[in-house]
Amino acid sequence: MLHYSEEEFELRDRFEECLDMRKGRTAVYQPEDEAMAVIGRLMAGISRREHLDELVPEMLLAEALGIPKWPSGDTERRFLVRANETTVRGVDGILRDLAIDQGLDYKPYTVHVAGDLSGLRSQARQREGVKVGYMGGPIKPGYQTMRVSVNGMPAWTDLRAGNDGCVDLPDRSLEICRQVRRKLPKSRIHLGLDSGFGNSRQLCKVQAMCQTDRQLHYFVGGSSQYAPQWWEQIVLPACKNRRWDRISKTTEILELGWQKPWGNETDRMRVVATRRKEWGKGRKRKYQIRVIYTDVSEQDRTARWVFGEYHERQRVEADIKDGKQSFRLKDLPVKELIGNRLYVKMTAIAQGMTRLYVREFERYRGPNKWGPQSKTVRRNLFKVAGEKTG
């Protein structure tokens, strides 16, 4: 993986161009050395900078990264706190090139761009950005993490304060779609967004871009929160009077046709309702109803296909979960928010390099398959290496 990052992607040279934090000529470590050390220890499975001393004897690994020796954990802390907005934007460009230029080099016919956010709980209230907010269920202190993925590869990510609404996630997703279109002019692009962004303002932006790009289609979730009057007049009566199509043991779908949930504020859109069976207290059955907004017509695709395309968004959810579990994102290294933002982006680069390694050297299961988590890839690498050298 390290050889691929250095030889194929020229990661060190890219860091040298984008890191706006120059040091003196006599310094032992230049900023690109410190950045490569962060990537190296994340790929090696060292999740906390306090444990970086365990890599000090691994001189060959340090030489593969192009650094004189492994830095201390305090050196990494000073590197992260020197970050600024220019540095963050430069690392964003590296992550975007990794996902689009390298991740889409096989030129797929359909590209899935998905945006999602997730709460990252933290009890360290002295850290900058730790605020009380929605953490995927309970209201707890922590951060908000946003991510946009392209066919399962992280293309953009960021860390925000816990009470941040993250309203710019659809704009970021649309910008990634534009970058994909420049790379692949003839491919179909499917954009998926969570129901938290299924309101009239965000859908107007998405529809405006889809009108200029006929090969771009959207699949956005919706709930009763943003269109309560339309929900009571159209959705609930239809759910009671029509017959649902069962697609699994707990999930059913219903075609509602072309609708205007917000009147003339948006263009008409196709609506597919979904309901999931849940069990309340006393084993009482209840249903959770959601809708999917899309611009794909019934003549082209069925409601079952729309449901499947919308749930391609689960790949970005699995991507965020992989980052939390394989790289232990809850163990953020510094108190400053800008430093932790840079660290989260570095983690996404290490995760993307692992995904490329799986595609290049392991049994590739295709772009629509999940594949192993990063921690599984690391374990297999060390296990195979130990068996061959032991």
Q: Say yes or no: 181 and 238 in one domain.
A: yes
Q: What contacts 247, CB < 8 A, 6 or more positions away? A: 253, 304, 307
- The answer to the question of residue 251 being in a domain is yes
Using a pLDDT cut of 90, give the percent of the chain over it.
Answer: 40
**Distance from the first to the final alpha carbon of the chain:** 21
| The last residue of a domain, from among 317, 348, 376 | 317
- The answer to the question of residue 348 being in a domain is yes
Number of structural domains the chain divides into: 2
* pLDDT exceeds cutoff 60 at 329: yes
Question: Tell me: the pLDDT tens digits for 231-254?
Answer: 999 999 988 888 899 988 889 999
Rounded Cα gap, residues 101 and 98, in angstroms: 6
- The answer to the question of residue 324 being in a domain is no
Q: Say yes or no: 116 and 24 in one domain.
A: no
146-167: average pLDDT: 90
The more confidently predicted of residues 240 and 59 is 240
The more confidently predicted of residues 282 and 348 is 348
Q: How many CA atoms lie within 13 A of 177 on its CB side?
A: 28
| The last residue of a domain, from among 256, 286, 317 | 317
* pLDDT exceeds cutoff 80 at 204: yes
- The answer to the question of residue 326 being in a domain is no
* pLDDT exceeds cutoff 90 at 43: no
* pLDDT exceeds cutoff 90 at 221: yes
The more confidently predicted of residues 56 and 339 is 339
- The answer to the question of residue 193 being in a domain is yes
Q: Say yes or no: 46 and 145 in one domain.
A: no
304-310: average pLDDT: 92
- Can you list the positions of beta strands (E) in 318-362? none
Q: Say yes or no: 176 and 217 in one domain.
A: yes
Looking up residue 273, the CATH number of its domain turns out to be 3.90.350.10
Instruction: Collapse the DSSP code of 344 into the 3-class scheme (helix H, G, I; strand E, B; otherwise coil) and give the result.
Output: helix
* pLDDT exceeds cutoff 60 at 388: no
Q: Say yes or no: 306 and 164 in one domain.
A: yes
- The answer to the question of residue 322 being in a domain is no
* pLDDT exceeds cutoff 50 at 160: yes
Q: Say yes or no: 244 and 295 in one domain.
A: yes
- The answer to the question of residue 323 being in a domain is no
Q: Say yes or no: 156 and 276 in one domain.
A: yes
pLDDT score recorded for residue 172: 95
Query: Where does the pLDDT of residue 102 fall: very low under 50, low under 70, confident under 90, or very high at 90 and above?
Result: confident
* pLDDT exceeds cutoff 70 at 379: no
pLDDT score recorded for residue 208: 94
pLDDT mean across residues, the chain? 84
| The last residue of a domain, from among 290, 317, 344 | 317
Q: Say yes or no: 94 and 75 in one domain.
A: no
Here the tokens at position 31 are 């900023």
Q: Say yes or no: 71 and 38 in one domain.
A: yes
Q: Which long-range contacts (CB under 8 A, 24 or more apart) does 19-26 make?
A: 19/87, 19/90, 20/84, 20/86, 20/87, 20/90, 21/79, 21/82, 21/83, 21/84, 21/87
pLDDT score recorded for residue 385: 47
- The answer to the question of residue 328 being in a domain is no
Q: Say yes or no: 116 and 62 in one domain.
A: no
Name residue, tokens 């296909």: 305
Q: Give the domain extent around 271.
A: 87-317
Q: Say yes or no: 128 and 65 in one domain.
A: no
* pLDDT exceeds cutoff 70 at 12: yes
Q: Say yes or no: 272 and 292 in one domain.
A: yes
Q: What contacts 95, CB < 8 A, 6 or more positions away? A: 154, 155, 156, 157, 345, 348, 349, 352
The more confidently predicted of residues 367 and 75 is 75
pLDDT score recorded for residue 248: 86
